Structure 1
Amino acid sequence: MAMLGYGIGMMHERTRRSLRATLVGVAACAVVAGLTAAVGGTENELHTGAAGAVTGIRLDGTVVSPLASAAGVEANVLLFVMTDCPISNRYAPEVRRLHDEFAGAVRFWLVYVDAHRPRDELREHRASFGYPFAALRDVDGALAALAGATVTPEAVVFDAAQRLVYRGRIDDRYVSFGVARRAPRTRDLHDRLRRLAAGETLAFSQTRAVGCYIPGA
């Protein structure tokens, strides 16, 4: 009987220890969850309020704030390109179509990541591919860093409240570098711009862009 009582006592002690461990684990999870909630948030929330202070340098040397609010503008698109990237250059006609379709509601900016090239060379490139909107030189990589752009071409979209709402490909024509479909199945950038132009509020979304890697990104 004494041995039986001892065994039962040991079982109760193990149960108490197990319960204490469970409670400690639950408390730890609650603390971690609280910290996650405190420092977490969606990607567009992390950029709220910070984007408007970003500046870019136009090809004529003037400094502008590409994400600044403007009457009637529902979105700003930063299109990261490189003069000698073949995929960037092949998308020029589609980019021109998007610009024409959403003129007034969406403001486009061409962002040259190869800003070390002479300004005249960048001007010639912009003119030869018929881009009808302003171009910026990302001299210190600040725009690419803010946007999280890593390849060209890559489109990064901020809404009228300067929240980051989209980053990624223009469409899914390119499966990988050098491998392309005859026609795209999904027009990712067009879809986001259509919804923003209609006044819709978007949560952040991202797709994988295929192109030339941005040096240092």
Structure 2
Amino acid sequence: MARTESNMIPLGSPAPLFSLPDAVSGKIDSLDELKSDKATVIMFICNHCPFVKHVQAQLVQVAQDYQAKGVTFIAINANDAETYPDDSPENMKEVAAEAGYPFPYLFDESQEVAKAYQAACTPDFFVFDGELKLAYRGQLDDSRPQNGIPVTGESLRAALDLLLQGKPVPPEQKPSIGCNIKWKPE
């Protein structure tokens, strides 16, 4: 398991716009159509990474808890599906159904969206406010595979709670740690 940290891009950065195919529905979804005027969570995840599998049930729970409060969740898989066939759109559709993803699961085949976000690992979380300015980036919580800490979503939940209350998210944020994004050969 390669351990790669988030790039921790500057807070206040605007969300790069995108349109990507949803592996589940087959339709093209855009950030403009999906965004929330309260908060939008963009997660870079994949199917095979043990770090993502470790938090998968909590990702679903956090999304369900906060979608009810008007927060949008968008999952993006940017891994090279040729080298990592487990991360193909067909397998994305299967994983989304098995895990009960309540959010779109988009495929970034060109990897241009991941590059625009400077995403580095799976999972990698970016939370944007109602004006699509970056308010939080980093970890779901302190849990990692085999560290014995329960998966609660605490870090992401705290950031979302503050945004929903109209309060600033403190800039001291911990990077996510996970498998590196599987980039295509240049």
Same fold at TM > 0.5: yes
Larger Cα Rg: Structure 1 or Structure 2? 1
Alpha-carbon distance between aligned partners in 2 of 1:149 and 1:214, rounded to the nearest angstrom: 8
Q: Indicate the residue corresponding to 2:74 in structure 1.
A: 109
Looking at structure 2, the residues matched to 82 and 114 of structure 1 have their Cα atoms a distance apart, in angstroms, of 7
Runs (4+) of structure 1 exceeding 6 A deviation are none
SS in 1 for 2:31: coil
Look up the match of 1:58: 22
1:184 Cα deviation (Å)? 5.5
Q: What residue number does 1:209 align with? A: 176
Structure 1 position 154 matched with structure 2 position 124 = yes
Gaps of 5+ in 1: 1-41
The one-letter amino acid paired with 1:106 is V
Conserved? CA contact 1:44–1:203, under 8 Å: no
Residues 1:84 and 2:48 are matched in the alignment: yes
> Do residues 127 (structure 1) and 91 (structure 2) align?
no
Q: TM-score when scaled to structure 1?
A: 0.67
Q: Structure 2 counterpart of 1:100, which letter? A: Q
Kept in 2, the 8 Å contact 1:165–1:205? The answer is: no
* Mapping of residues 182-197 of structure 1, within 5 Å: 182-183=149-150, 187-197=154-164
After superposition, give the CA deviation of every residue in 1:50-97 in whole Å (9 maximum; x if it has no partner).
63x332222244332225575x64111111112111120121111122
Q: State the Cα RMSD in Å.
A: 2.7
Give the Å deviation of 1:98: 0.9
Contact conserved, 2:139 with 2:155, CA < 8 A, in 1?
A: yes
Please give the TM-score of this superposition, normalised by the length of structure 2.
0.77
Task: Give the Cα separation in 2 of the matches to 1:192 and 1:152.
Answer: 19
Aligned length: 169
Determine helix, strand or coil for the equivalent of 1:43. coil
Higher relative helix content: 1
